[in-house]
Structures are given as structure tokens and as C-alpha cells.
């Protein structure tokens, strides 16, 4: 039996789930002298997330990290479903799907490392950044040409919205 191309899954996506470190960020953490951990996120990923939300898609973020600055950034983009300190991501994943009546086959999940593995095995379209670990690349139906924190989230969101005819809208009206 021939394996389906990842593009065949794009029409069925209604929901995006993302990890933070290594996906929305490049995985590096800068430490201040007070011990605060700083992360950098890409504005193009933010624009794509906001565009997806405005087009009616659901976005959820599940991260093992617990930086409240991450929550503030995501909420500023309109992402309200943010699970931080999630060491067993399956729990939050199932809770989120149940609460929002979402089927796993309609979910695109992007992860980059071993903690993402269990959830990625359950979703319709597991994806990862170019610099993900080999185990995650092996189970991904799509590997972005972008690294984590450098537009990989924009890459997958833009592809889904373009296939579904929701990318080329009147952006000026949405972002005034």
C-alpha cells in the first residue's frame, strides 16, 4: 500500500497544537543574572497563528516549560489554550480534545523532541522543524524546511490555510 503524501492531510486540519521550546523558539535559553530564562519567538510565526485564529482554527500550546512570559506572548496573539509545565503531554492533549469536541485526525501537531512523541503518534498530521531529533523526524509526516523558532510554525499554518483557501484573505482589514 502506498503511503499518503502529507498534503493529503492538510484539508482535514481544524486544529494546530504546538510545543514551545524547539518549535516556537529555537530551543536556546538565555539566563539573566537573576536566573530568569529568556526565549525568543519569531514574529512570522506569531502572524500566522493570529491569522489562523481569525480564520476560525483552534490553536493549543502544550509545553513542559513553565515560563509565564510564554503564556503572555501567546495570549497576546489570541491563543487562550496554553498548557505550561506539562510533563505528560498526553493528559493535556486528551483533555483539550474532549473539552473542545475535536477528533485527533483533525489535529496538526508540531514537536521537536522525545516528550512530543506520544502525542505525535495519535494526531492526524504529526510535523516537526528541520532541526528536530531523529526519533521525531522518523514519525513526522512532514518535516519543515525551517528550524524551530525560525518560521516552522508559519510554514505549516500557511500550507494548511492555503490548501483550504483561507490564506489569501483581506489581511489589511484583519490587522488594522
- The topology under which CATH files domain 9-167 is Rossmann fold (3.40.50)
- How do residues 33-56 score in pLDDT, each as one tens digit? 998 888 999 999 999 999 999 999
CB 124 within 8 A of CB 107: yes
Locate 114 and state its grid cell: 522525545
Question: Is pLDDT above 60 for 16?
Answer: yes
Locate 12 and state its grid cell: 482535514
Question: Is pLDDT above 50 for 176?
Answer: no
Does pTM top 0.85 for this prediction? Answer: yes
Helices (H) and strands (E) in the chain, counts: 7, 8
Residue ranges of domains in the chain: 9-167
| Residues near 133 by beta carbon (within 8 Å), at least 6 away in sequence | 112, 113, 114
Where does the pLDDT of residue 66 fall: very low under 50, low under 70, confident under 90, or very high at 90 and above? confident
How does the average pLDDT of the chain come out, rounded?
Answer: 93
Amino acid at each position: 500500500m502506498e503511503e499518503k503524501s502529507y498534503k493529503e492531510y492538510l484539508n482535514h486540519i481544524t486544529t494546530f497544537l504546538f510545543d514551545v521550546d524547539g518549535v516556537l523558539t529555537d530551543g536556546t535559553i538565555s539566563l539573566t543574572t537573576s536566573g530568569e530564562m529568556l526565549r525568543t519567538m519569531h514574529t512570522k510565526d506569531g502572524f500566522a497563528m493570529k491569522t489562523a485564529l481569525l480564520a476560525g482554527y483552534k490553536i493549543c500550546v502544550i509545553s513542559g516549560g513553565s515560563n509565564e512570559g510564554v503564556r503572555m506572548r501567546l495570549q497576546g496573539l489570541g491563543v487562550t489554550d496554553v498548557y505550561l509545565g506539562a510533563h505528560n503531554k498526553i493528559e493535556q492533549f486528551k483533555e483539550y480534545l474532549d473539552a473542545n469536541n475535536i477528533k485527533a485526525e483533525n489535529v496538526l501537531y508540531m514537536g521537536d523532541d522525545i516528550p512530543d512523541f506520544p502525542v505525535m503518534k495519535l494526531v492526524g498530521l504529526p510535523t516537526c522543524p528541520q532541526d528536530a531529533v531523529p526519533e521525531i523526524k522518523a514519525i513526522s509526516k512532514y518535516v519543515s524546511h525551517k528550524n524551530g523558532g525560525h518560521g516552522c510554525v508559519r510554514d505549516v499554518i500557511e500550507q494548511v490555510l492555503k490548501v483550504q483557501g483561507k490564506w489569501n484573505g483581506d489581511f489589511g482589514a484583519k490587522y488594522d
